[in-house]
Chains A and B, each alone.
Chain A
Amino acid sequence: MFVAGEYDVIVIGAGHAGVEAALAAARIGCRTLLATLSMDNIALMPCNPSVGGPGKGHLVRELDALGGEMGINADKTCIQFRLLNTGKGPAVHALRAQADKKLYQFTMKETCERQAHLDVKQLLVDDLLIENGAVRGVTIETGETYLCRTAVLATGTYLRGRIIIGETTYTSGPNGQRAALKLSDSLRQAGIRLMRFKTGTPARVDARSLDYDKMEIQPGDEEARNFSFMSDEVTREQIPCWLTYTNEATHKILRDNISRAPMANGIIEGIGPRYCPSIETKIMRFPDKAAHQLFLEPEGLHTNEVYVQGMSTSMPMDVQLAFLHTIPGLEHCHVMRAGYAIEYDCIDPLQLKPTLEFKTIQGFFSAGQANGTSGYEEAAAQGIIAGINAAMLVRGEEPLVLKRSEAYIGVLIDDLVTKGTQEPYRIMTSRAEYRLLLRQDNADLRLTEYGRRVELVSDARYARFQAKKKEIEQAMHVLRQTFLTPNAETQQKLSAVSTGEIHTVTTLFDLLRRPEVKYASLQPVFGLPILSRAAEQQIDISITYDGYIKKQQDQVDRMEKLEIKILPETIDYRQIPSLRDEAREKLMKIRPRSVGQAGRISGVSPADISVLLVYLEQQRRQKEAAHELS
């Protein structure tokens, strides 16, 4: 065995999960290796050129608060920003950006290359070395071995990847990349269950061949916004997107050729996501819909490639060209890359702990699309957690597990390891039961301390966070302590802030409960301290929605009682005869970490949970009794 190097953490794959895992581990101080199939494709965006959106934008903010890179990188390289859902309540406001794909990639590559403790190498990992149930290293296709104490699987869609375009199929990673063909076998030998998933991407067309007069322009927001709490960009060039629709002619071509669709002729075996269906799936599933909308999104400032969002397809090329040409604005479009479907191996995430470590292989973690998710943001969010926890394991410190009540990252990972997934998993705000608490505006307040605890949050970030927190606390104090008496002077001031009179002594805090009253309008009238916009926003939201927020916090507090009841890893569910069979099977398979997690497993009833609690109490008392004897 030729040992080419030895690391604390080896990350297999340098996509969005891999780079976050590697950067986190290295920044915490672990000697880290980032192994990529191609040095030219670090942080590749093989599908749409956008970052963020509902749920996804929340994830980016959260990972930024923990000290991750995606937010900063997107702020540096995106060419359009929009804040979505502005009319739908503060919790679901969502920032979405169009990225310059190449700029995004190269900026991230540079960050990785410059990172202390991090080596980036072009390597194809064939084998996993496992000794005594713990990961020891990886073997490369060229024969050398790298030893490690922990490893992170972040292989995206590269494991036995297969691209499908009509009747044509070939072995490949996305965008014609190499696929990793041997690692799947090595994982299987290690006892890991694999699944086969599928996803797809639309064609890219030449910007110069589009007829923009026939499409509707979609500009970015005028106000500049950032993902990262550390970014201060106030101006940014905004490149528009374009909106158009399919029509009956488009649908007829697809219908007439449906027998040639790979999903119809049996070529595709993998399970595709419901939220990202191909256009052929859409017209079959919703035959009554007369038109489907599509967005044309530029892929960058220095390319003519335009992404045809909404038209993901794996139809044969003649069909792709024919249906695209029926669409207003695309009549004469030149296709630069074909749309395709890709199948790949991923692991069944039920095999993971909430730390993202495999239950059966010590030190081996898995993150990203390899865990059956989809989306850059979902991948990155898991990446940073896997990287942090690999580093914590190396250092012998407590792992970081975020709760469902603390972060979308917690929701995402808990869903994966508790319920598994039947299709590529996408985060949605409707998956979060405590949505009002998990806002994108307060991600820093929720998570910076955790990032600090694992030494991923820099002094600069921490100082900024503390300043904001202090600013908010002080202003809150003033608001609570300022009492208004209902006299002529007060009523005059109230009319100046366009709100009704008061009839009893009222604090400014209570005044802010009125939906029409905002801190910014009170500030000059009542001589309040001038605050940063971020602090102002926190104050407005937390006071206006106080009642609803408290209600959710109460639910969290009640749930917490079950979350802190930890189920020992050694628990033998066969020794608890009162459990129903279905529950016992599920518990044995999933091995939840806490009673709370057990309660979220479908098939585990409230009575089973009671039985578990009685069992835990029995064990505790037995231990106590044994202790007293000895």
Chain B
Amino acid sequence: MKELSHIEAVLYFFRGENMQQAETISAIATARGEGGIGIIRLSGEGAVRIAEMVFKSQRGIPLAKLVSYQAAYGRIVNSQGEVIDEAICLVMRAPYSYTREDVVELQCHGGSMPLRETLELTWKYGARPAEAGEFTKRAFLNGRLDLSQAEAVMDVIQAKTTASLRVASGHLTGKLSEKIKSLRQDILEMIAHLEATIDFPEDDIDDVVISDVSYRVNRLRTAVGQLLQTAHAGRILRDGLETAIIGKPNVGKSSLLNSLLQEERAIVTAIPGTTRDSIEEYADVGGVPLRIIDTAGIRSTEDMVEKMGVAKARAYVEQAALVLALFDSSASLTPEDKEVLKLIRSKDVLVLLTKADLPCRVSLEALQQSFAAEDILMISTLTGKGMEELTAAIVRKVYGGKAQSQEGLFVSNAREAEILRQTSVCLDAVQKTIACGMSADFIVIDLRSAWEKLGEITGETVGDDIVDQIFRQFCIGK
């Protein structure tokens, strides 16, 4: 059923080309790595509904109540109710929008990490990744752009697709694409076997043992799950791990920063922010690119919390994926330290006890009540003590202690991760069908979907694969 995969691919791209499509698409509308604001744009019938699920307005006004071109201030909240970012939400109702569909723009203030997380949330709630040039295409098909622009629209679609394919094939590492291909082949063989017994019941083909299928599907499910786990690390490897360094004045933030940057001179790029006075610098720590936020702030104002005020400090910590919290090991905790402790409560933190060259006065027991022992490190930038352990701890945070064995195998692209998630859903459905005692032709349905989904990653969607595989695998004939 080669058609299906292709058709589905087309549908995936084009599911809906009339005004107010049932299919809502979303994408990051701003260029990556530029500016401090990132905009996520949603378009389609469900745009407002989906935005409503990720965005909580400060004043508690539902987006559905906003009139066109009215904005609301609020927060992006994930499914656990955790705040990801602060944002301004702008609602543009059909037909007065770029695509002439309902459009919602989420202007996020955090860095690229919260932006991606927000985008993925929109997918989780029912939007799908927009294809290259798709907003423009919808704009034209819905009559927004005038006739003379048709040629340009067609060019944009083709050119953007070519470009995005090039990018995709560029970051689709050899190992990942090999892995996906081998998973697909495994599925294909199962499909071919099931289909061969269906299409050639009188030929001499071994029966399919359903428990074997179930076993193999389970194995696949695990493999897909492992790939998904690399998505986090893969993204960090590509975009950098947003890291905040926080601590009371004179605790050693600058020294740590310098130490991190000096140790690895390789990468030092400063990107001045456009809307915020933040400067980011990259440090390569054990192969993990740390993207250290607001290094300017760290350098110029050692007494950050005080100068920033608690609200700003909180925002600063919020946008980081990893917080390095510094405390003076040679003194007991001060009220300022306690303020810092409060800020980092729900974050991924490494607690660094500085000045390890001096006698230790801080109560480790108290800290260990709030933090895992492995996340508490004694360091001294003066003697270099604990710096290796810090590197190891950061690497552990990124890889979760697992992915090292599959070196080079990372899912780094959000769309790939989304497809893998959908593949998982299909594989779960296969197991459910088997558990219900359904027959072979039902089992095949979701196996095929899983196989097609994975094909969207490697770009293999057309072909006589199943029929070919049947004849390759089995001797059939009258």
Q: A residues near B, CB below 8 A?
A: 48, 53-55, 84-85, 87-89, 91-92, 94, 96, 274-277, 282, 285-286, 289, 291-293, 295, 309-310, 312, 404, 415, 428-433, 435-436, 515, 545, 548, 551-552, 555, 558-559, 561-562, 576-580, 596, 599-600, 602-603, 605-611, 613-615, 617-618, 621-622, 625
Contacts and interface: CB of A to CB of B under 8 A. Distances in A.
Nearest to A245: B204
27 contacts: A84-B202, A88-B197, A88-B201, A88-B441, A92-B441, A275-B477, A276-B477, A277-B476, A282-B475, A285-B475, A289-B475, A312-B477, A404-B3, A429-B441, A430-B195, A430-B467, A431-B467, A551-B445, A552-B445, A578-B155, A602-B6, A607-B132, A607-B133, A611-B157, A613-B137, A614-B137, A614-B150
A605 B131 CA distance: 13
In order of increasing CB-CB distance, the 10 nearest A-B pairs are A578-B154, A606-B13, A89-B439, A618-B150, A89-B441, A607-B161, A433-B4, A599-B10, A430-B195, A286-B475
A611 B158 contact: yes
Nearest to A431: B1
B270 interface: no
Contacts of B279: none
Contact of B199 (A430, A545, A622): A430
Contact of A614 (B157, B199, B442): B157
Given A561-B16, A600-B7, A613-B17, A580 B147 contact: no
Given A54-B201, A621-B147, A596 B7 contact: yes
B471 interface: yes
B475 A602 contact: no
A104 to B, nearest CB: 18
Interface string B49-80: 00000000000000000000000000000000
A292 B475 contact: yes
Contact of A54 (B7, B155, B200): B200
B198 A430 contact: yes
B147 to A, nearest CB: 5
Contact of A615 (B150, B445, B475): B150
Given A310-B478, A602-B463, A622-B147, A576 B154 contact: yes
A562 B477 contact: no
B395 to A, nearest CB: 39
A401 B200 CA distance: 28
Nearest to A309: B478
A83 to B, nearest CB: 10
B161 A605 contact: yes
Nearest to A616: B141
B244 to A, nearest CB: 41
Nearest to A274: B471
Contacts of B131: 606-607, 610
Interface residues of B, number: 62
A293 B204 contact: yes
Interface in B325-375: none
A209 B405 CA distance: 66
Nearest to B160: A607
Contacts of B143: 621
A282 B471 CA distance: 11
Given A607-B13, A609-B10, A613-B141, A88 B478 contact: no
B14 A562 contact: yes
Contacts of B15: 558
A310 B2 CA distance: 28
A90 B252 CA distance: 73
A579 B162 CA distance: 12
A614 B143 CA distance: 11
Contact of B198 (A92, A433, A596): A92
A48 B154 CA distance: 53
A580 B1 contact: no
B462 interface: yes
Given A292-B204, A607-B158, A611-B157, A89 B442 contact: yes
A610 B147 contact: no
Contacts of A625: 147
Contacts of A91: 441
Contact of B13 (A85, A88, A602, A610): A610
Give the residue among A89, A415, A561, A607 with the most B Cβ atoms within 10 A: A607
A153 to B, nearest CB: 26
Given A430-B195, A433-B7, 15 more contacts: A53-B202, A54-B199, A85-B201, A89-B440, A275-B200, A282-B477, A289-B475, A292-B475, A293-B204, A428-B470, A561-B18, A602-B6, A613-B137, A618-B150, A621-B143
